[in-house]
Structure 1
């Protein structure tokens, strides 16, 4: 049980204290110290930390008693806090990325070139980059599960493109996986979908001739 509770973002002492309160609903710090084998000199710090994280509340009267917050309520609070932290970090990362882009000497013309991309995270990042510059159409060809995953991952970007009049086409396929951008470039997946995400490889080909070939065959 303690190991499961720790997965909620609590350390060893916090998990022990919360577990003790789960069994008793409310209790004094002395009781928590004895029942969870937490040194008395540390128990108040541990309980106050749990309160700050949203897992317990305390009484206003003395002696102070601590009451457990329902697990689902506590988890929702933790999730909301973590999401706010992620959103804040994401905005900071975007500012940093924009600053770096201004300094970077990035060649815009990659005509008739091919680049190997390894790892699903890197592949999806490159797809996102291509979608940013897409003006007319996108063709996504993959298995049913692959289409569902990509639509979920790129949901906001695809919705934004659709609102701008970009034609987004999804085609299920058991034999091939690729994404065509404006018939100018294509991201071609090179291995089986069932493999490890880290082992996944793709080839980004910037060639209207090749991209148009995949576009026409993928639409059939």
Structure 2
């Protein structure tokens, strides 16, 4: 009966002998009812007791045993199963080594698919930088993550409409000669994707490498800072030819 739940044959036989009667049994009777050898019965009863499958009591000089009711046993086995599942998940996450390799990826649709997969898996935070059409195509998911309580910071080149407050917007003009199509996504400050166009084709890298994730997180803030500076002090910057020349060559 219980073998399919990880119990031994003797444990199953003893439990079944107890559940089929309406009164507690002593060890001698259990031996007769279950077919478990007398030399093994006390060991088996001890294991079942330790597993919480039977109750014990002493009456006079006899040690009596009775099983958990069948419905209670079912609930216990379900709870044990769920606990084991959680332990398995925890063990998997603890044992999974961090992949700090840098993976390369080509082709726009593949890069978009990986980007969306990263966004789906985000649990704590998302930093995303890109052009308005790219951001807009993922805006529903980003807003969903924001409503779920994640920190969502967006740097966008062009305009988008969103309820997310953490948005830095750069409206490009003719002075921004170094602007290039690119995407940065950093999730949970643990994994990132950077994509750009080279020879008219999208190419990307993806990694969990701590130093690279940190670098691109700082790079994200670099883009935000440049955007805020050029928007707030645009007139001042554009009047100073030396500052303008250097600033406009930076890649946002």
If the length of structure 2 is used for normalisation, what is the TM-score? 0.43
Q: Which has the larger radius of gyration?
A: 2
